[in-house]
Amino acid sequence: MSRVDAILFDSLVDFRREMHQHPELSWEEHETAERISEFLSRHGVPHETGIAGTGVVADLPGPEGCPRVALRADIDALPIQEETELPFASKVPGVMHACGHDGHTSILLGAAVLLKQESLPAPVRLIFQPAEETGRGARAMIGAGVLDDVGMIFGGHVDRHYTAGQIAVADGAVNASSDAFAVQISGRGGHAARPHEAVDAIVVGSLLVMSLQTIVSREVNPAHPSVVTVGRFVAGSAPNVIADQAILQGTIRAQESSVRLHLQNSIQRIARAVGQLHDAELMVEIKPGTPPVINSAEMAALAREAAGEVVGEDGVVDMAHANMGGEDFGFYAEHVPACYVRFGAMVAGKEGFPAHSSRFDFDERTMRFGAEYYRAVALRAGQRLREKAGV
């Protein structure tokens, strides 16, 4: 029998649809935070607002002297024009919940209601985090102290690759790191008919693009998934002018910290070599983003036990491959033991619309399973922390 009864489920659906109709971009989630606060207040859950700007944190009490279990949801939307034709589609032009954060928020609110009814073995902290899509929200919340006295943290993401009633759990890497890089190329401009008098920034940039492709294919163990992609190449002003400047911008993805560092170092090494080869000046800027999300074996085991309690052993599935997308939940995992799972949410007929698509949607039934999973994992993790603390 589901612990999320019809009344609670309907309230979560109502909340999700209201939030979906009124999406707010990163750091602008003021009305979203108000709605979260109103829901928590209505159910008697103590909380604070204005954390790191627009974050909300709720604390449920447990035994003194025991570390907290933290559960986290992200609340921001994306700058995408919605094309789902849902009856509750976004009313904000050019802004949409295209990554399921409306579902994540509703799931955690459901968990708050369920956990409020329990005698908790350890205190539980519910973190409603802004600005995940910028990769900076988690760090801001950590800076605001949300991990103080936290012994373990859990999070999750709706996923169209699995059906409602499935929860995917993995040991090790779940999401890749996500860093950005930019290369400023300074050559020497000239007439297109007299290339010997110039240093062509476009030729230099073209060689650099091709050379960067050898990092993953020839320097990284094929068993360690990684990506170096140049997504932007800007150069030139006229067809008969040799460009003196070019700008390349791209992304770096890796599932292991050592590989992440190797990719960054290799980009700089190859850029220096290409500059020397063509007598050009290349300036490389690496912009660190989010770290990889790594589930420890102990945390994954706790998650599997909790997921099995909710969806049964057959409903707990392994992730075949880690997601190469970034997720700033990795910052939490750098500070405390963490586990990040995937909630099956496939909608029949919409399998081809991934997250960040203008037609993305998810099966709302996953909110019931997600809320019950958070309840189960908070109780199991709390008992583990209580035993370790000897409380």
**Active-site option among 76, 82, 363, 364:** 76
Assess contact for 282 and 272: CB atoms under 8 A.
yes
Enter the tokens of residue 78. Answer: 């994306």
Q: Any binding-site annotation on 335?
A: no
End-to-end CA distance of the chain: 32
Q: Any binding-site annotation on 101?
A: yes
Task: Return all residues near 2 (Cβ < 8 A) that are at least 6 apart.
Answer: 9, 368, 372
d(CA 144, CA 125): 14
Q: Is 372 a catalytic residue?
A: no
Q: Any binding-site annotation on 43?
A: no
- For the chain, what is the total number of helices (H) and then of strands (E)? 9, 16
Radius of gyration of the CA atoms of the chain, in A: 24
Maximum Cα–Cα distance across the chain: 81
How large is the angle between the packed helices 6-21 and 101-116, nearest 10 degrees? 150
* CA-based nearest residue to 311, from 192, 209, 166, 131: 166
Q: Any binding-site annotation on 278?
A: no
* Coil, helix or strand at residue 295: strand
The values of phi and psi at residue 218, to 5°, are -130, -10
Q: Is 76 a catalytic residue?
A: yes
Q: Any binding-site annotation on 339?
A: no
Instruction: Give the DSSP H or E segment for 147.
Output: none
**Active-site option among 24, 82, 132, 361:** 132
DSSP characters for 5-70?
-HHHHHHHHHHHHHHHHS---TT--HHHHHHHHHHHHHTT--EEEEETTTEEEEEE---TT-PEEE
CA distance to 33, 45, 94, 389, per residue, from 380 (Å): 29, 21, 41, 14
d(CA 326, CA 133): 9
Q: Which residues pair with 229 in a beta bridge?
A: 251
Q: Residues at the annotated binding site?
A: 99, 101, 133, 157, 356
Binding residues for Mn(2+) are 99, 101, 133, 157, 356
- Give catalytic residues, as residue numbers: 76, 132
